[in-house]
A and B are shown apart, each in its own frame.
Chain A
Amino acid sequence: MRVVIAEDSALLRDGLVQLLQLRDVEVAAAVGDAEALLTAVAAHTPDVAVVDIRLPPTQTDEGVRAAVQLRDRHPETGVLLFSQYVETAHAAQLLGNPAGFGYLLKERVVDIGEFVGALERVAAGGTALDPEVVAQLFGAARRSTALDTLTPREREVLALMAEGRTNHAIATAFTVSERAVEKHVANIFAKLDLPPSETGNRRVLAVLRHLETGR
């Protein structure tokens, strides 16, 4: 897997490069600002671009804007947004199309195995949302009383679905059979009144939309 990294803190950047290389991920380029990012992606066509939300010069949302441009110009390159704390407001426009999109907090890097897994998911066109982000969405979803009808296990499965995990991954995480997961998913969809045959990214979208708007 080939990646390009955009992160303005040199310390973090170098550390991340070393970590990924130790896990046999090819880092084609590691840059410090949005301009260089766009150039590097055009030059190397990586599978995923890892982009810090805050980049110079204003340190507000250069990363997000560059990510939007990347999605336009290089739709086959996944984008993983990287942030010190949850800034879903900035990332909202990208959350609308979760295929090949990810949003992780920087501290997730500590578990490098998970991080690489998320990269692989995004590179394959899936979704990878940070559990913190999902938790915030759950917390904000006061309007959905339907969530209260879920059993605790179903709520856990829903959270992992929102993160973008496949049924197989969820089954592994809870050490149950994939069939059991499918049953949970069907129940969840029934209780939340979502179209049942959604899979993959459409599923994530449907769950996210439900969490945000209560529909």
Chain B
Amino acid sequence: MPSLRSRLRTRATATFGRPALAAVLYGVIALPLALVGFFLTLVGLAFGGALSVTTLGLWLLAATVRGALALGALQRGLARRLLGLEIEQPGVEDGGTGIGAGGILSWRRGILLDRTGWRAVGCVLLTPFTAVFAYAAVVIGYVYGALFTLHPLLKRWNYNTVHTTEGTTHPVSTDRHVSLEFFGYQLDSWPRWLIPFTAGLLLLAVAPLLLRYALGPHRALLTVLLGPDAATRRIRTLEETRARAVDDAAATLRRIERDLHDGTQARLVALAMHLTLIRELVTAGAEPARVLTAVDTAQGNATQAITDLRHLVKGIHPPVLDEGLHAALTTLAADSALPVALTTDVGTRPTPAVETIAYFCAAELLANATKHAHATAAAVDVTARDGVLRLRVTDDGRGGAVIGAGSGLTGLLARVRTVDGTLTCDSPHGGPTVVTVDLPHT
């Protein structure tokens, strides 16, 4: 049970710690900034729109859009620094740094036609409405909270003098000092000032929560309008995965080339040489023992070359995969050092690319279970439902597997993403480990 002291400390850091104060600062800055942006943009749009038949009007509009974009960048920076909110740069279509080849008029047209710019304008026009909530939350939570809490101290300096006259025959006027009065109920004396005191503390305690909820709409607005739109995000993912796929393919080809060249070809050269040696030995009439030694060496080379080729082929595309995922996984399970329980429930056959990726994922995950997790048993389940082929590999090893930090899972995830799949890993320390791979399956 955390002690009262540590709980108080947690509360205190929640309200007054760095992240909380940063959020307060943001809440205070955001509204004025939003209002300034709002008015400037509105003016720009109004004048620009009114004059849009002239070239000056178009320039005004372009300037407004650029201003909105700049303001958007400022907002993103502030959000990242003060709120810890990461918004990716939106795609800018014309590469808004320079004027480029088209000349100044096409640059202007680029700005005016850029969707990102107009989304930024929309954001500028709407932020005052969301920022006001944050501002209000700061005022209510922090300002009023502080004032109420400090009321017992402040009432000495912060009061009204109320002059009352009582009685009709002998008027007695009294002056009293009123600092805080609630519908005639005065809260200045002991023990009544405990009420605002506790109320203030409560307000301060919930202030960070209040601020977080108040910032919710604002954060959502910024993310939706200032970040990359769905199309840009999709393009970025595709570019990344495509680069990865190309690198993978090149690396695989290099590996195959090296294996073939250093392995198989070298063995065949050695084999040819030993056959020559055998001929020379026989021609020279050497004793049979020597000839047979050379024959043994030649045979060894031939067998090794055949084995090397077999492994190489299995690494590229195991022939058994042609018979379907179930057959291939059954062979994999049988070959594995662990006992593997396999269940497959795949309706229509997936595409060859998906089958290959699923197979190699299963192979690597089983290898991990044996090598790293020191498991004693594993289970492989493949199901297909709702357009998703799900491969789940469970092992009873010691767990602790993480995606990232040089683990093989990162490589698997990247490979899986190239076909728009996903990989998740649930591996607490002490096990068991469950890795789930989802692949598209029409």
Which of A's residues lie within 8 Å of B, judged by CB?
A: 9, 11-12, 15-16, 18-19, 22-23, 84-85, 106-107, 109-112
Contact of A9 among B270, B284, B286 (CB under 8 A): B270
Q: Is the Cβ of A110 less than 8 Å from the Cβ of B276?
A: yes
| A16 CA to B276 CA, complexed, in Å | 10
Contact with A along B253-294 (1 / 0, CB 8 A): 000000001000110011011111100110010100000001
B297 within 8 A of A: yes
Q: Is the Cβ of B273 less than 8 Å from the Cβ of A109?
A: yes
Which residues in window 293-348 of B have CB below 8 A to A?
294, 297, 301
Q: Is the Cβ of B276 less than 8 Å from the Cβ of A107?
A: no
Q: Is the Cβ of B276 less than 8 Å from the Cβ of A11?
A: no
10 A-B pairs with the lowest CB-CB distances in the bound complex, closest first: A22-B280, A15-B273, A110-B272, A11-B270, A106-B269, A110-B276, A109-B273, A19-B277, A12-B270, A107-B269
| A156 CA to B142 CA, complexed, in Å | 96
| A142 CA to B273 CA, complexed, in Å | 35
| A85 CA to B260 CA, complexed, in Å | 13
Residue in chain A with minimal CB distance to B301: A11
Q: Is the Cβ of B261 less than 8 Å from the Cβ of A84?
A: yes
Please, could you name 21 A-B residue pairs with CB atoms under 8 Å apart, sorted by A?
A: A9-B266, A11-B297, A12-B270, A12-B273, A15-B270, A15-B273, A15-B277, A18-B277, A22-B281, A22-B286, A84-B261, A85-B261, A106-B269, A107-B269, A107-B272, A109-B272, A110-B273, A110-B275, A110-B276, A111-B276, A112-B280
Point out the residues of chain B lying under 8 angstroms from A112, CB to CB.
276, 280
**Chain B: how many interface residues by the 8 Å CB criterion?**
18
| A15 CA to B294 CA, complexed, in Å | 9
Q: Is the Cβ of B284 less than 8 Å from the Cβ of A12?
A: no
| A106 CA to B271 CA, complexed, in Å | 12
| A12 CA to B270 CA, complexed, in Å | 6
Which of B's residues lie within 8 Å of A, judged by CB?
A: 261, 265-266, 269-270, 272-277, 280-281, 284, 286, 294, 297, 301
Q: B287 CB to closest chain A CB, in angstroms?
A: 13
Q: Is the Cβ of A12 less than 8 Å from the Cβ of B276?
A: no
Residue in chain A with minimal CB distance to B290: A18
Q: B132 CB to closest chain A CB, in angstroms?
A: 67
| A84 CA to B265 CA, complexed, in Å | 8
| A107 CA to B270 CA, complexed, in Å | 9
Point out the residues of chain B lying under 8 angstroms from A19, CB to CB.
273, 276-277, 280
Q: A178 CB to closest chain B CB, in angstroms?
A: 31
Given A9-B266, A84-B269: A15 and B280 within 8 A (CB)?
Answer: no
Q: Is the Cβ of A12 less than 8 Å from the Cβ of B269?
A: yes
Q: Is the Cβ of A23 less than 8 Å from the Cβ of B273?
A: no
| A12 CA to B271 CA, complexed, in Å | 9
Q: Given A12-B270, A112-B276, 11 more contacts at CB 8 Å?
A: A11-B270, A15-B274, A15-B277, A15-B297, A18-B277, A19-B277, A19-B280, A84-B265, A107-B272, A110-B275, A110-B276
Point out the residues of chain B lying under 8 angstroms from A109, CB to CB.
269, 272-273, 276
Point out the residues of chain B lying under 8 angstroms from A85, CB to CB.
261
Point out the residues of chain A lying under 8 angstroms from B266, CB to CB.
9, 12, 84
Residue in chain B with minimal CB distance to A15: B273
Point out the residues of chain A lying under 8 angstroms from B265, CB to CB.
84
Point out the residues of chain B lying under 8 angstroms from A12, CB to CB.
266, 269-270, 273
Q: Is the Cβ of B280 less than 8 Å from the Cβ of A23?
A: yes
| A107 CA to B268 CA, complexed, in Å | 9
Q: Is the Cβ of B273 less than 8 Å from the Cβ of A16?
A: yes
